[in-house]
Structure 1
Amino acid sequence: MGTPIGNLADITLRALHVLQLADAIACEDTRHTQQLLRAYGIDRPGSALLALHQHNEAEAAQQVIARLREGQRVACVSDAGTPAVSDPGARLVAAVHAAGLRAAPVPGASSVTAALSVAGAGASPAAGAGFVFAGFLPAKGAERSAALQQLAGEPRSVVLLEAPHRMRALARALAPLGERRVTVGRELTKQFEEVATCRADQLEAWMANDPNRERGEFALVLHPAEVASDTEAAAQRTLQLLLKELPTKTAVRLAAELTGAPRNALYVLALQLQAQEAGEPPPG
């Protein structure tokens, strides 16, 4: 089940209900989960908490299955967020299914969806739909470079997670992507939350502007590459030519009829082109 990634208020009523009803709770860190339970006024004995982390998940899964076969209700939580995404839990769920038992999702906070919700990535009609969750990239330089090279050609948004001590290295690795935009979510939902969007080749400089930006947990959204389609390029060129000879509304109407591009989008583009020619900031 999902637990808060920082703000304790981000727990769901259903999660609290499940935690109160569960006979046992499989958790990444029993001490952390015990503190979380106490924060919500839930008192559970230490024997009700089962350690389930990346080093013992296969063995711990068998303990969970044994309890489920006895008719017990077992909840699974990570230290923060939703299990089985970038934290332990996937092997447990697979083992439960393989044993012919049922695993029920209890949705909650997630750094992945939190970052996507404030990135505004993929807003362009030309952008690929959906997103790819890449999580933590390999730590080694060569493997990381190969992974980034593969992601650079991905037409959809890409969500990355990174630890603070490796953020500078990731920023340098992303720099060759140039103008491609990156939204950085630092300490999401926590007291010192910070969200910013910049070009990939400006990310390292953004971090250097404030020493605090090398602290905390990071979720990043690599925006889709902005590639204009042939139709969009033709419409823009047609509009530019017509604007030289005709009033704005007439040029927009004719460009829409000639290229099939949406009239409203062409009108906005016309205003932007005129502002650029006049040396003014683009409208709205």
Structure 2
Amino acid sequence: MMGPVSGRLVLAGSPIGDVSDASPRLGRVLGEADVVAAEDTRRLRRLTGELGIAPRGRVVSYFEGNERERTPELLAALTAGQTVVVVTDAGMPSVSDPGYRLVAAAIEAGVDVTAVPGPSAVLTALALSGLPVDRFTFEGFLPRKPGERARRLTELKDEPRTMVFFEAPHRLTQSLEAMGDAFGSDRRAAVCRELTKTYEEVKRGPFDELVAWSAAGVRGEITVVVAGADPDRTMTPEKLAAEVAVDEEAGTPRKQAIADVAKRFNVPKRTVYDAVLAARDPGR
């Protein structure tokens, strides 16, 4: 890795909705940059127009479809001593948006990398969700294919931290249903849409309620916040067998008790059945 060069890469956080959230510094760096790499140049023109500025440098598109090809060009500008600002449609570049490739390349080349902090859909949704925020994990967009999505969610079933996802409006109901299947229909969650915009809405509740609410159609930018797994409900075979025993003592037939416990803790009935057999015969 070489020593620092004179160029500078600036990741510019842009408003996620209300343009008045833009900082004075954002307007200044957009106006003074040698190159502005924008996810959508039309949205950039709208933003700079509302901020009352005109970029003096070159404006180029930098989006998912051309990110790989355009990164070497932007890196060349940086190593030549220019200031390059990356700005996406909303929020911080590289967070589920273009930017990561250029950041990695710039660091490797010894280019100074900095950021203009701005609004974050992730943090805003967390704060509004009403769910624990002391520890969280950002999971971005779920896979589009149902099988891959189900596998990803199964991997997260026992995640104890609050989880944050992005989702497209037309896939929201399917994703909420898949989350309910993986996490349990009673797991708490919040769907945050159009944050900081005119029609901002936060719908909180268990998955079964959120699925019913979303079925009529939901529009706008979507962030989903999901409560982490309750350690008390991360069930071992011993706990499952104990739950069945409690239901049986209350008068529920064993077969029904096994089905009820399986549904309650979102595990296969066979798993509960095996746990009961193991409890009866520890050497099995």
Short-chain TM bin: 0.7 to 0.9
TM-score in terms of structure 1 length: 0.73
Note if contact 1:175-1:202 (Cα within 8 Å) is conserved in structure 2. no
Which residue is 2:220 aligned to?
Answer: 216
Which residue is 1:168 aligned to?
Answer: 173
Hey, what's the Cα distance between the residues in 1 that align with 2:173 and 2:228?
Answer: 22
Gaps of 5+ in 1: 124-128, 230-284
- The structure whose RCO (Cα within 8 Å, separation 6+) is larger is 2
Indicate yes or no: 2:80 matched with 1:70. Answer: yes
Please give the secondary structure, in 2, of the residue aligned with 1:37: helix
Q: Which whole-Å deviations, capped at 9, do the CAs of 1:183-205 have from their partners, x for residues lacking one?
A: 11011111111012100222111
Hey, what's the Cα distance between the residues in 2 that align with 1:12 and 1:149?
Answer: 40
Please give the secondary structure, in 1, of the residue aligned with 2:150: helix
Q: Which whole-Å deviations, capped at 9, do the CAs of 1:127-177 have from their partners, x for residues lacking one?
A: xx5111111000001000001111111110000110011011112112232
Indicate yes or no: 2:187 matched with 1:180. Answer: yes
Q: Which whole-Å deviations, capped at 9, do the CAs of 1:214-240 have from their partners, x for residues lacking one?
A: 1111101101233459xxxxxxxxxxx
Which residue is 2:229 aligned to?
Answer: 225
Alignment identity in percent?
A: 42
Indicate yes or no: 2:25 matched with 1:14. Answer: yes
Structure 1 stretches of at least 4 aligned residues deviating more than 6 Å after TM superposition: none
TM-score in terms of structure 2 length: 0.73
Indicate yes or no: 2:91 matched with 1:81. Answer: yes
Gaps of 5+ in 2: 1-11, 234-284
The one-letter amino acid of 2:106's match is V
| Alignment counterpart, residue 120 of structure 1, candidates 125, 130, 149 | 130
The one-letter amino acid of 1:112's match is V
Which residue is 2:117 aligned to?
Answer: 107
The one-letter amino acid of 1:220's match is V
Hey, what's the Cα distance between the residues in 2 that align with 1:172 and 1:217?
Answer: 19
Which residue is 2:257 aligned to?
Answer: none
CA RMSD of aligned residues (A): 1.7
Hey, what's the Cα distance between the residues in 1 that align with 2:108 and 2:68?
Answer: 13
Which residue is 2:40 aligned to?
Answer: 29
What is the number of residues matched between the two proteins? Answer: 220
Please give the secondary structure, in 1, of the residue aligned with 2:112: coil
Higher strand share: 2
Indicate yes or no: 2:158 matched with 1:153. Answer: yes
